A and B are shown apart, each in its own frame.
Chain A
Amino acid sequence: EADIYQTPRYLVIGTGKKITLECSQTMGHDKMYWYQQDPGMELHLIHYSYGVNSTEKGDLSSESTVSRIRTEHFPLTLESARPSHTSQYLCASSEGGRRGETQYFGPGTRLLVL
């Protein structure tokens, strides 16, 4: 059973607000990831981290930012939310180091920006 948590699960917010999506894992994994998924569409990697103080942009350009101050915590922030940010955001983690490794996903945060 994977121990990776995301809060909030659902968020409805107005345009221009600053939001932070939380992601935490208790498995001690070095690598963490953020994916974005629109309804019925593919997942796209937007950010990833190899460890503390490491963050990289993913394959899909995103206006969001991330930080990795602690191993277990990988929050995603939108400074000024817009309707175009409406989507599902999925956090994942992996132990790293092997091509056969498994990624564990959180339940996701569904964001609606009005």
Chain B
Amino acid sequence: DAKTTQPNSMESNEEEPVHLPCNHSTISGTDYIHWYRQLPSQGPEYVIHGLTSNVNNRMASLAIAEDRKSSTLILHRATLRDAAVYYCILRGLNNDYKLSFGAGTTVTVRA
């Protein structure tokens, strides 16, 4: 599977936007970009995914670079409940539906 690179940590103030970058320079044309997050003491939860176009849902927005070698997860107004580890994952044709989690980005939200 193609690998992703994320910063180890990011800090934000409450009610401010958070932009989480993810680099995936070896992405293939058929790889989907998925984001999950894991709140403290909980299992991961799905946030958003996309292929080529930017995507929006009730939780976040996903901005995908035109060359698809990077993407950014955008939390429009961070709340204390958004403090979590955020994982950027690529899913391709041959990964047997498994998810490969890296270290992710630990997001801290200041009140």
Contact = CB atoms under 8 A, between A and B. Distances in A.
Interface of A: 2, 31, 33, 35, 42-45, 48, 58-59, 90-92, 94, 96, 99-108
| 7 tightest A-B CB contacts, nearest first | A105-B43, A43-B101, A102-B46, A90-B43, A99-B32, A105-B44, A108-B43
* Chain B interface helix/strand/loop/mixed: loop
Interface centre among A33, A96, A99 (most CB of B within 10 A): A99
Interface of B: 30-32, 36, 41-46, 49, 51, 91-93, 96-104
B98 A59 contact: yes
B44 A43 contact: yes
Contacts of B44: 43, 90, 92, 103, 105
Given A99-B91, A99-B92, A99-B93, A59 B46 contact: no
A106 B97 CA distance: 17
